Homo-oligomer: A and B are copies of this chain.
């Protein structure tokens, strides 16, 4: 007969958590998104919530807040929906610009020393020596620089030929396969945290680059508001899985090993930077 100690030793080790387990666990770390980092973009289909992350692009982000505060985008339009690429919008003709400036330098990379270390993904990347997450945003870095990456849902500042000539009036969101070739070429400022489906299901534009043709009625934007200016009873409280919490690595590991979720028969033991979902959930109001 086995002693109790030997029997205990023979128990199988606990199974590592599935992605569902991680999301359900009590000790998984979530971070509430601050209202003063949020933009509320109201389109016909609903509200799109964008979290801005000013550290990577402080001047561009400040300029966007100035435009939003001036009501620049209210009454604006979606101008471009390019299949498997981007949705782009702007304010109406002659919209007020408040204290926004007309030329903001490109901020597509930042010196990396200031943000070291980040939680890195251990699976490699085609575009950069290292990738991971900072404040639950996808980032990449090399020995000198760190930058936000063009994953699905990332929001950037349109520019013309001039890298330093963006005035903040044309913003875009990635709606298809991550166009990582745009990394380091154009300034990213944030990510859609809720409401992507209101943008991705819009009709594609028939013109060059997916711009809507002259005769089509462009989808309307009733307003873009700064979360801090939204009345408290209208604010939407969200929390995002926290990439700085110890539980983040369990999330990454679970998504790299999908067999734990059932249905799957093969785990790759890897997940691509832009194929790792960044979970967001609603915080229920207390009243």
- A residues bordering B, Cβ < 8 Å? 81, 83-84, 108, 123-128, 151-153, 161, 163, 176-181, 183-185, 196-197, 200-204, 255, 258, 262-266, 268, 270-272, 274-275
> A180 with B126: in contact, given A200-B83, A201-B203 (CB under 8 Å)?
no
The answer on a CB contact under 8 Å between B177 and A177 is: yes
Residue of chain B at shortest CB distance from A205: B197
Q: B268–A181 contact, CB under 8 A? A: yes
Q: Which single residue of chain B is at the shortest CB-CB distance from A106?
A: B265
Q: Which residue from chain B places its CB closest to the CB of A81 in the assembled complex? A: B201
Residues of B within 8 A of A181 (CB): 255, 258, 264, 268, 271, 275
Please state if A127 and B200 are interface contacts (CB–CB under 8 Å): no
Minimum CB–CB distance from A266 to chain B (whole Å) comes to: 4
Residues of the B chain whose Cβ atoms lie less than 8 Å from the Cβ of A268: 127-128, 180-181, 183-184
- A263 partner residues in chain B, CB cutoff 8 A: 161, 185
Distance A102 CA – B274 CA, assembled complex (angstroms): 36
User: In whole angstroms, how far apart are the Cα atoms of A275 and B151 in the complex?
Assistant: 11
Contact A204 B201 (CB under 8 A): yes
Contact status A178-B177, CB under 8 Å: yes
CB <8 Å contact, A265 and B185: yes
Report A208 CB to chain B, min CB distance, Å: 13
Q: What residues of chain B lie closer than 8 Å to A128, measured between beta carbons?
A: 268
